[in-house]
Structure 1
Amino acid sequence: MKITIVTVGKIKEKYLTAGIQEYLKRLTPHCRLDIVELNEERMPDNPSPAEKAQAISREGERIQKSIRPGTHLIVLDVAGQMLSSEQLAAKFDTLALAGQSDLTFVIGGAFGLSPDVLAAAKERLSFSRMTFTHQMIRLLLVEQIYRAFKISRGEPYHW
């Protein structure tokens, strides 16, 4: 399985980078996972609604250019569907059985995702109704991808 995470913004915290790298290493026998980091739009300290919309639009254009044709696109969206780890594992299994082995997850910027990116998504996934930093959600996502593979294989999972 090939999994890509397209994300707006860079990881700034060393502890998050270390955690992400650990899960990427653990995922090596299970899948090929690539992370595509896109630049955030520069914004004033207190942006207007129009400036936010413009930033979302420009980030959305860059996100769409990073998405491969034919990939199963899943966007992370606070208003999306919440799944258990077991349900995510079952979703991976179902997609694989249907011949869909190319998945792309998208994590938007600070102000969210453009309507065009949301419309292109096959699914919207929410980790919680709570708000997390986009940097932190990347760590949570790679951990859940790893956990899904372990669940699918019936292997124990311990950190």
Structure 2
Amino acid sequence: MKTTLLVVGRTVEQHFITAINDYVQRTKRYLSFDMEVIPELKNTKSLSMEVQKEKEGELICKAFQPGDVIVLLDEGGKEMRSIEFADYMKRKMNTVNKRLVFVIGGPYGFSQKVYQAAHEKMSLSKMTFSHQMVRLIFVEQLYRAMNILNGGPYHHE
């Protein structure tokens, strides 16, 4: 199974880039993992929030491949403790044949088309984080899950 984190727009702040890249590299020791960036829309000042969501949604859906299992990182999704997420990843590694794709949308969330394409929704917290921060939190939790599954010292009950 290949795991992909699909994000809209590049990470701009250097401290986030450094930390995200560190966790991506650590995670690759355990799992086939990459981060795929969909370019931000250009000239959005004249576009409504809904139109931006729709256009981003089209780009997100184009990135999906047949056989992908799509999980949206969404405030309305299921919350899990780190140990539960590790168990979730273990189940997915045993059942997903192609790609497990986690998706972080743009600033206005997901279009209806993206929600329809998704298999699951997952929430990292009830709190709101910047899209840059969510990327870091997710890759850290993915690394933590892999570390838990491999008996590493990264998690303490």
1:85 aligns with 2:86: no
Aligned to 1:58: 55
Cα distance change of structure 1 residues 139 and 43 upon mapping to structure 2, 3 Å threshold: same
Offset at residue 53 of structure 1 (A)? 0.6
The code of the aligned residue for 1:14 comes to Q
Gaps of 5+ in 2: none
The code of the aligned residue for 1:93 comes to K
- Name the SS for the 1:54 alignment partner: helix
The code of the aligned residue for 2:12 comes to K
Alignment of 1:69-80 (within 5 A): 69-80=66-77
Taking structure 1 as the reference length, the TM-score comes to 0.90
Contact kept in structure 1, 2:72 and 2:104, CA below 8 Å: yes
Quick one: distance in 1 between partners of 2:81 and 2:56?
29
Quick one: distance in 2 between partners of 1:122 and 1:84?
20
Quick one: distance in 1 between partners of 2:35 and 2:13?
16
1:85-126 CA-partner distances (Å, limit 9, x unpaired): 111111111122225462101000000001111121111011
Contact kept in structure 1, 2:57 and 2:113, CA below 8 Å: yes
Aligned to 1:23: 23
Number of equivalenced pairs:
154
Quick one: distance in 1 between partners of 2:10 and 2:111?
19
Aligned to 2:104: 107
The code of the aligned residue for 2:101 comes to T
1:104-151 CA-partner distances (Å, limit 9, x unpaired): 010000000011111211110111121111111011111111011111
The code of the aligned residue for 2:8 comes to V
> Considering only aligned residues, what root-mean-square deviation do their CA atoms show, in Å?
1.6
Contact kept in structure 1, 2:8 and 2:104, CA below 8 Å: yes
Percentage identity across aligned positions? 36
Aligned to 2:144: 147
Quick one: distance in 2 between partners of 1:148 and 1:119?
27
Quick one: distance in 2 between partners of 1:123 and 1:103?
11
- Name the SS for the 2:103 alignment partner: strand
Quick one: distance in 2 between partners of 1:68 and 1:112?
21
Quick one: distance in 1 between partners of 2:98 and 2:38?
23
Contact kept in structure 1, 2:72 and 2:122, CA below 8 Å: yes
1:21-75 CA-partner distances (Å, limit 9, x unpaired): 111111122112111111223432xx7xx71111000000000111121111100
Quick one: distance in 1 between partners of 2:37 and 2:29?
23
